[in-house]
Structure 1
Amino acid sequence: MQYRFTQTILHSPRGYLTLTEEELKKRLPLPDGLFTSCLRILQSLDPAGIGAASLKDCLKLQLQRSHQLTPLLEELIENHLPEIGNKNTSRICQSLKIPKKEILSALQLIRNLNPVPLEGMFETDVTYIIPDVIIKFTPAGHEITLNDGWVASYSMSDYYVRMMQSTTDESVKKYFQTKYTRCRLLFYNIERRRQTLYNLTDAICHYQHDYLKNQGPLFPMTLADIAKEIGVHPSTISRSIKNKYLQTSHMTLSFKDLFQRPFPKTGKKISKDSLKKELYHLIQSENTCHPYSDAKLTEILSSQFGRTFSRRLIQKYRTELHILNSYERCK
């Protein structure tokens, strides 16, 4: 009975309790107290928060498990989740009349909780990336391998070729010649695409040598740059890299991710990736008691890269890196 009850609850993809005791009693003849007993067992299992009736209950269960649930945290969860989600810290402080520093530590604790206890635990659709190209760096340079050995080999049947050559029926001969020409064209196009992929990978290795060896930031590079390097049209590069992946000894990534335009009007070639990495390192090395404001970060990075960045851009990249603002980073 307990197993069947637990199985019914776990049908919720989030791990929340989806049935009330009254609803369940309409399906099963439960003795008094069994629902509460089973629920207590369920909520004691991992992951913490499973069996909760709502998001609020889920968060409180996790805090109870770690013995961290305080009256302040309970008040925040019960009455201020919308403000927490909108990062409206000032409104919470005004409502509770509590210093902001005290509120921030409580909010950080809530944000570290998991609102979906079963997320990802029962997913069955798994996608595995098979790299199209493998690069191996050696003391002499780099080696490029097109990873298509798993594709079945292709060739024309000698039997039909001999039939085309020996037949005296003109209609049959014309039919075979048409198919033969199409096959030859198909083989030519396949080999040309393989060669284009090899050539563009070789050109990318020269452009992004340090990045692919995990020794430097991503260098600005456009489709036109590689197209000019290997003597094709940019649209050819675009088609060749579509949905294709590159593997090195350090990472597997999409070809598309390697292409970034440089920032305009600058004496140096600066990519978004290099700016993000420098922003991240600046914040990691800052004085946590006096963290950099977005304005200060903008000033430092503008001076460092020799061009003027907008504060809005730096704030956008900081958000994309999932880094809090200076007030919330202050310890």
Structure 2
Amino acid sequence: MALGPRLDLRQSQSLVMTPQLQQAIKLLALSNLEIETFISDALEANPLLDLGSAGAVGDGEGGEPEVDLRRTTPERSDADRLIGEGRGGEDQPLDIDPAGIDADRDTGDGQGEPRHGPDASGADAEWGSALVGSGSETGPGLDEREGAGPSLAEHLEAQVGAAAPDALTAAVARYIIGQLDDAGYLAAGNEELASDLGIEVAQVRAALKVVQSLDPTGVGARDLAECIALQAIEADRYDPCMARLIENLDLVARGDVSRLKRLCNVDDEDFAEMLAELRSYDPRPGLRFGGEPGGAVTPDILLVPVAGGGWDLRLNQASLPRLVVNREYYVELRGSCADKGARGWLSEKLADANWLIKALDQRQKTILKVASELVRHQEGFFRHGVAHLKPLTLRTVAEAIGMHESTVSRVTSNKYLNCPRGTFELKYFFGSGVASADGEGGASAEAVKAAIRQLIDAEDPKAILSDDALVELLKAKGFELARRTVAKYREAIGLGSSVQRRRQKKLATRG
């Protein structure tokens, strides 16, 4: 066999991602607000694109109908086949009615709500301006906040796992963290939070206590007095005199020193020391961190119940601009194109504009498909609360709607759903679980832990439940678990063995 250079022809097949397909995949992972920025850049780069009214994308000319983002249809476009990565065949239409809702309805993003915290009253505003140190009136400047590390919500959520006694309390604490404003204050009351999550007020109080124990001290307070009191307690300076001083912050703001000294029953020296201590506290502890995502979140999807027991699911049209092709301008430009290169450039811009509109249209349809499947699977949560959250995986949703897991993962990233219980990230509805006793469906790990805690809290001190007994009682409730799994969940929520609990309850009875 001779050795030497030679030329061979070979045929091969490979999957190549075109720039258009890469762009369509990128759009799936963007939130509605990020889409606005993307469209602004596209408008600058393509003279044939134009911006219409919010709520739809389409051609904009009378010859071709516009595509309403609020409507879902079973047809599959070329973009659908490329983006969806489906298994072929006809798509099943959505069971959820995408009918319109009142555009003026409160979306739960916090706008229009009464103000709370240190800026809620004139006295509090004066108090905030009188403080020195880190608690300035305006908070950190843009240069201080930029690149300052994690946001307030991220900083607090990183501490929840170690501070919460059980998974349910941790879940409620994370929800409370999501309701905090930039300064770290909580506007919602305990009853409102309990109603939103479908749990007892006592569970909200326990979770709020966990949040208020986190760093920085003072977050989770409902007003300025509570914020300062939490910091005084942490510093071990919350004696009766300091308590009375904190209860009369309006007098501090007015500078009524003589009356304050009488109320606190202290002399000039002690009062000066107390006032210096008071001014060392931070009235807005949350402003040490970045404002996002601790601030208000604009939901991408709106969900409201409708008469007859169904759901009204639609995209938030307030944050969706309408993109159209200006065909009149295209015709005008084409008539003035004298050379072949200019006509080719114009045709390329028209093709890019049409593709972008199709990709945006398919993005909306894909988001609605994924969201509708989430609502179908987690309907118990939306109707009854967090205890009814079911286990769910990306694969389950992907198989149900005929798409790839990676597509579902992109769709659920940076997307928020607003419902009567609040605003939740789509990733919130995914989690592990256990099988049910009847072999149908399942339950989330949080629901199982809540059931174990309920059984142990209700046990008779003279008849402590063993892990085997817990297995049988949980089976009667519909949970199929092994004894080792029950023991693992019991230990995870901080409950001892039957021997330890018998000892503890004996001591409690004697006490």
Report the TM-score when normalising by structure 2: 0.40
Mapping for residues 189-204 of structure 1, pairs under 5 Å: 189-204=359-374
Q: Does 1:271 align with 2:452?
A: no
> In structure 2, do the counterparts of structure 1 residues 252 and 286 end up closer, same or farther at CA, with 3 Å as the change threshold?
farther
Q: Which amino acid aligns with 2:445?
A: K
1:315 maps to which residue?
491
Which AA in structure 2 matches 1:146?
A: L
Distance 1:217 1:122, change over 3 A: closer
Deviation at 1:265, TM superposition (A): 9.8
Contact 1:132 1:146 in 2 (8 A): yes
Aligned to 1:137: 305
User: In the alignment, what sits opposite 1:183?
Assistant: 353
The 8 Å contact of residues 199 and 230 in structure 1, kept in 2 or not, is answered as yes
2:254 is aligned with 1:47: no
DSSP 3-state at the match of 1:252: strand
Aligned to 1:241: 412
CA drift at 1:139: 2.7
Map of 1:112 onto structure 2: none
1:83 match: none
Structure 2 counterparts to residues 75-154 of structure 1, below 5 A: 118=282, 120-121=284-285, 123=287, 125=291, 126-140=294-308, 141-154=310-323
Find the aligned partners of 1:7 and 1:144 in 2 and give their Cα distance: 47
Q: Is the 8 A contact 1:297 1:314 kept in 2?
A: no
Deviates more, 1:230-239 or 1:256-265: 256-265
Whole-angstrom distance in 2 between the partners of 1:119 and 1:241: 36
Aligned partners of 2:370 and 2:401 also within 8 Å: yes
Which residue does the alignment assign to 2:60? Answer: none
Distance 2:322 2:376 in 1: 31
| Alpha-carbon offset, residue 7 of structure 1 | 4.2
Equivalent positions of 1:163-182 (< 5 A) are: 163-166=332-335, 167-182=337-352
Q: Is the 8 A contact 2:377 2:390 kept in 1?
A: yes
Deviation at 1:11, TM superposition (A): 3.7
Measured against aligned partners, the alpha-carbon deviations of 1:199-240 in whole angstroms (never above 9, x if no partner) come to 111122221112112256112221111112211111111001
Residue in 1 that maps onto 2:324 = 155
Q: 1:51 to 1:181 in 2, by over 3 A?
A: same
Using the aligned pairs only, state the percent identity: 17
Q: Do the aligned partners of 2:436 and 2:443 also contact (CA within 8 Å) in 1?
A: no
**What's the counterpart of residue 219 of structure 2?**
none
Aligned amino acid, residue 134 of structure 1: L
Report deviation, 1:62. 2.2
Change (3 A) 1:297 1:237: farther
Partners of 1:283 and 1:291 within 8 A in 2: no
In the other structure, the counterpart of 2:116 is none
What is the alpha-carbon distance in structure 2 between the residues aligned to residue 12 and residue 165 of structure 1? 61
Q: CA deviation at 1:149?
A: 2.3
Q: 1:11 to 1:218 in 2, by over 3 A?
A: closer
Summarize the Cα distance change of 1:247–1:11 in structure 2 as closer, same or farther, 3 Å threshold: closer
Q: Cα distance, 1:277 vs. partner?
A: 3.1
Partner of 1:229: 400
Structure 2 SS opposite 1:149: helix
Does the CA contact (< 8 Å) of 1:226 and 1:237 recur in 2?
yes
Give distance in 1, aligned partners of 2:228 and 2:338.
77
CA distance in 2, matches of 1:291, 1:227: 47
- Preserved contact between residue 227 and residue 234 of structure 1 (Cα < 8 Å): yes
CA contact (8 A) 1:135 1:145 kept: yes
Amino acid at match of 2:228: P
1:313 alignment partner AA = Y
Query: CA RMSD for the aligned pairs?
Result: 4.0
**Residue 210 of structure 1: aligned partner:** 380
Cα offset for 1:51? 7.1
Q: Contact (CA 8 Å) 1:220, 1:270: kept in 2 or not?
A: yes
CA–CA separation in structure 1 for the residues paired with 2:232 and 2:379: 51
How many residue pairs get aligned? The number is 237
Give the 3 Å change call, closer, same or farther, for CA 204–161 of structure 1 in structure 2. Answer: same
- Structure 1 residues 62 and 51, CA, compared in 2 at 3 Å: closer, same or farther? closer
Change in Cα spacing, 1:297 to 1:161, as seen in structure 2 (3 Å) is farther
What do residues 75-105 of structure 1 show as CA deviations (whole Å, max 9, x unaligned)?
xxxxxxxxxxxxxxxxxxxxxxxxxxxxxxx
Residues 1:284 and 1:197: Cα distance change in structure 2 (over 3 Å):
farther
| Contact 2:300/2:315 (<8 A) preserved | yes
Matches within 5 A, 1:292-307: 295=467, 299=471, 300-301=473-474, 304=477, 305-307=479-481
Please give the TM-score of this superposition, normalised by the length of structure 1: 0.58
Distance in 2 between the 1:262 and 1:190 partners? 35
2: CA distance between counterparts of 1:307 and 1:199?
Answer: 33
- How far is 1:312 from its partner? 2.8
Residues 249-274 of structure 1: CA deviation (Å, up to 9, x unaligned): 12221111111233379745232132
Distance 1:50 1:199, change over 3 A: closer
Aligned to 1:250: 421
Post-superposition offset of 1:159: 4.4
Check the 8 A contact 1:214/1:250 in 2, yes or no. no
> In 1, Cα distance between the equivalents of 2:358 and 2:231?
58
**Does the residue aligned with 1:155 lie in a helix, a strand or coil?**
strand
- Quick one: structure 1 residues 292 and 157, their matched pair in 2 at CA, closer, same or farther if it must change by over 3 Å? farther
Give the whole-Å Cα distance in 2 for the aligned partners of 1:220 and 1:191.
30
Distance of 2:414 and 2:399 partners within structure 1:
22
Partner of 1:270: helix, strand, or coil? strand
| Contact map agreement 2:301 2:418 (CA 8 A) in 1 | yes
Give the 3 Å change call, closer, same or farther, for CA 312–148 of structure 1 in structure 2: same
